[in-house]
């Protein structure tokens, strides 16, 4: 089988499993009462998404010798937990849209979104508990720590809004907690449910850690060079909101005095006008920050793949490598 054929096969397998996850999520809370709580939850769980996190749980379980069926509920669980973070983050970030649809607090209201998010946490634990047969405290602690990390990451993100000078290492720490922790956790619990040996758990956690960073940097990059149709959000949204992304921080690091003043306006004015996006895009290009970001994404992707070396060869290991490359090359 040549590489192109293999990629096609892997893409089919990915689509098949994530569609299955999507279907199970969509049906999970149908008809539950009270409707004022579960209808909004259902709205979120039916709103699609890549389901990469759930797929990582399945792949890592199988990569260490387990079966998909051992971690299916855990796969749902991480997707539900991820949904919770989106719902509450969208309130805090004043985000109107999510996956091309109105955000939950826009569709309903803030109170409903707070409560729906809360119950999604509990629904996530409920599903995870179904797949806890061994290493129970370890699996739950890992899951729980990622909730703590996500909250810390979101808090740092909010702190950065007020902070004038954010360094790139600080930024990396923030996205590692806000996005990376959950992806790392997926790989960790997948491996632990599959009863992996310690070294393999560590390797898969390292894979997840690096994948998470690559994933978030790619997200930052797509926010400005992606197209609306593919990306599902408005291009340049981070600039409009004055977010301190990797690109902005890197550009600030490299820019001359004059350009630095321009770039600092993004921060000082808490964002720019839509009409100014191209001006800043050109500034970013001038200092090559898109290329630098792409190199960073490649670096983390390579680290992720390298971490898998000690995992015994298998089709799932190949799929994990494929996922890492897919994430770093995606355009949405």
Stretch that binds a copy of itself, among 14-22, 106-114, 207-215, 313-321 (CB under 8 A): 106-114
- Cβ density class 291-308: b for 16+ within 10 Å, e for less: ebbbebbeebbebbbebb
Q: Is 3 helix (H, G, I), strand (E, B) or coil?
A: helix
Taking CB under 8 A as the criterion, the residue among 101, 129, 272, 292 binding a copy of itself is 129
State yes or no: residue 92 binds a copy of itself (CB under 8 A).
yes
Size of the site for a copy of itself (CB under 8 A): 36
**CB 249, CB 171: distance < 8 Å:** yes
State yes or no: residue 106 binds a copy of itself (CB under 8 A).
no
Distance between CA atoms of residues 332 and 163, nearest Å: 30
**202 contact partners, CB below 8 Å, separation of at least 6:** none
State yes or no: residue 31 binds a copy of itself (CB under 8 A).
no
Provide the minimum distance between the beta carbon of 178 and a copy of itself in the complex, in angstroms, as a whole number. 12
Q: Which is nearer to a copy of itself, 140 or 326 (CB)?
A: 140
**CB 245, CB 218: distance < 8 Å:** no
State yes or no: residue 95 binds a copy of itself (CB under 8 A).
no
Q: What secondary structure letter does DSSP report for 178?
A: I
Taking CB under 8 A as the criterion, the residue among 114, 272, 277, 326 binding a copy of itself is 114
Tokens, residue 306: 């390298």
Neighbours of 217 (CB within 10 A): 26
Q: Which is nearer to a copy of itself, 1 or 137 (CB)?
A: 137
- Chain residues binding a copy of itself by CB under 8 A are 34, 36-37, 88, 91-92, 110-112, 114-115, 117-119, 121-123, 125-126, 129, 132, 136-137, 140-141, 144-145, 147-148, 151-152, 154-156, 158-159
């Amino acid at each position: 089988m040549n590489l192109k054929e293999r990629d096609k096969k892997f893409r089919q397998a990915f689509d098949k499993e994530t569609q299955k996850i999507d279907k199970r999520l969509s049906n999970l809370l149908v008809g539950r009462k009270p409707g004022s709580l579960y209808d909004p939850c259902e709205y979120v769980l039916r709103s699609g998404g890549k389901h990469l996190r759930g797929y990582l749980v399945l792949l890592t379980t199988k990569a260490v010798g387990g079966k998909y069926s051992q971690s299916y509920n855990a796969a749902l669980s991480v997707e539900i937990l991820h949904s919770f973070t989106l719902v509450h983050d969208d309130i805090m970030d004043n985000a109107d849209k999510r996956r091309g649809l109105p955000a939950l607090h826009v569709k309903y209201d803030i109170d409903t979104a707070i409560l729906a998010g809360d119950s999604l946490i509990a629904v996530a634990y409920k599903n995870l508990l179904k797949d806890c047969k061994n290493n129970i405290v370890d699996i739950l602690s890992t899951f729980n720590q990622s909730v703590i990390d996500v909250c810390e990451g979101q808090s740092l993100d909010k702190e950065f809004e007020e902070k004038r000078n954010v360094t790139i290492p600080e930024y990396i720490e923030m996205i590692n907690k806000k996005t990376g922790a959950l992806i790392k956790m997926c790989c960790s619990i997948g491996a632990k449910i599959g009863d992996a040996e310690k070294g393999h758990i560590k390797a898969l956690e390292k894979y997840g850690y690096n994948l998470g960073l690559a994933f978030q940097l790619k997200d930052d990059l797509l926010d400005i060079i992606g197209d609306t149709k593919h990306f599902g959000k408005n291009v340049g949204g981070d600039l409009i909101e004055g977010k301190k992304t990797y690109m902005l921080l890197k550009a600030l690091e490299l820019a001359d005095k004059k350009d630095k003043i321009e770039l600092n306006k993004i921060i000082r004015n808490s964002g720019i006008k839509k009409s100014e996006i191209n001006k800043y895009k050109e500034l970013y290009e001038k200092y090559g920050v898109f290329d630098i970001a792409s190199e960073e994404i490649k670096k983390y992707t390579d680290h992720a793949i390298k971490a898998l070396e000690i995992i015994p060869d298998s089709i799932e290991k190949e799929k994990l490598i494929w996922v890492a490359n897919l994430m770093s090359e995606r355009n949405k």
